[in-house]
Amino acid sequence: LDRIAETEPSIHALITVREQALEEARALDAQGPDASKPLWGVPVTVKDAIVTKGTRTTAGSKILGGFNPFYDAFVVERLKEAGAVIIAMGSSTENSAFGPTRNPRDPERIPGGSSGGSAASVAANQCYASLGTDTGGSIRQPAALCGCVGLKPTYGRVSRYGVIAYGSSLDQVGPLARTVEDAALVLSVIAGHDKRDSTSSPRPV
């Protein structure tokens, strides 16, 4: 959170910083480390098009400026089950109603879109990893421009339940991280069948 406060004025990668994050982290501390939770205590950000219970989720639009979801997206459920602490919601960059995101490597350059906030938050060391959504390059392009790792999973590998879609027949949620190993770990957490998404693959992870 200190790193976010330090870097946000120049980067603007995030729309909402979750007030609940510290409380959730303290609850994890009270429980103690849990080897069954591969992301125990790890700070993660998610794109502002992935609904998170009780946290403003806008998809970068003023129309949704007051939208506080009453449920978690499948991938958010998975992150929480794995012990991650979701600290903020990333913006969708150039065309966001909340203002553009800057590339942490060079603030005069764009971070790419539409998951530019997610890529920028990783590149600026605001988090360990982030989730974005990819329709036709929206994870991979920002990852390339910001110098981090981004992966669009095979369609159906990750549930789209709770995702505000750009193109529902194309969108996939995927990880952004600083290393391939970190991206693989996050994917292993969010992948899997979800009966609430009819296109979700039943194949084993």
Which is catalytic among the residues 96, 115, 118, 138?
A: 138
- Pairing outcome for strands 43-47 and 85-90: parallel
* CA-wise closest residue to 170 among 135, 132, 131: 135
Which is catalytic among the residues 92, 96, 114, 121?
A: 114
Query: In the annotation, is 138 catalytic?
Result: yes
Query: In the annotation, is 195 catalytic?
Result: no
Torsion angles phi and psi, residue 163, rounded to 5: -105, 130
| Contact of 15 with 98, CB cutoff 8 Å | yes
List helix spans (H) across the chain.
2-11, 20-31, 74-81, 116-123, 140-146, 180-190
Terminal-residue alpha carbon distance, the chain: 33
The residues annotated with a catalytic role in the active site are: 47, 114, 138
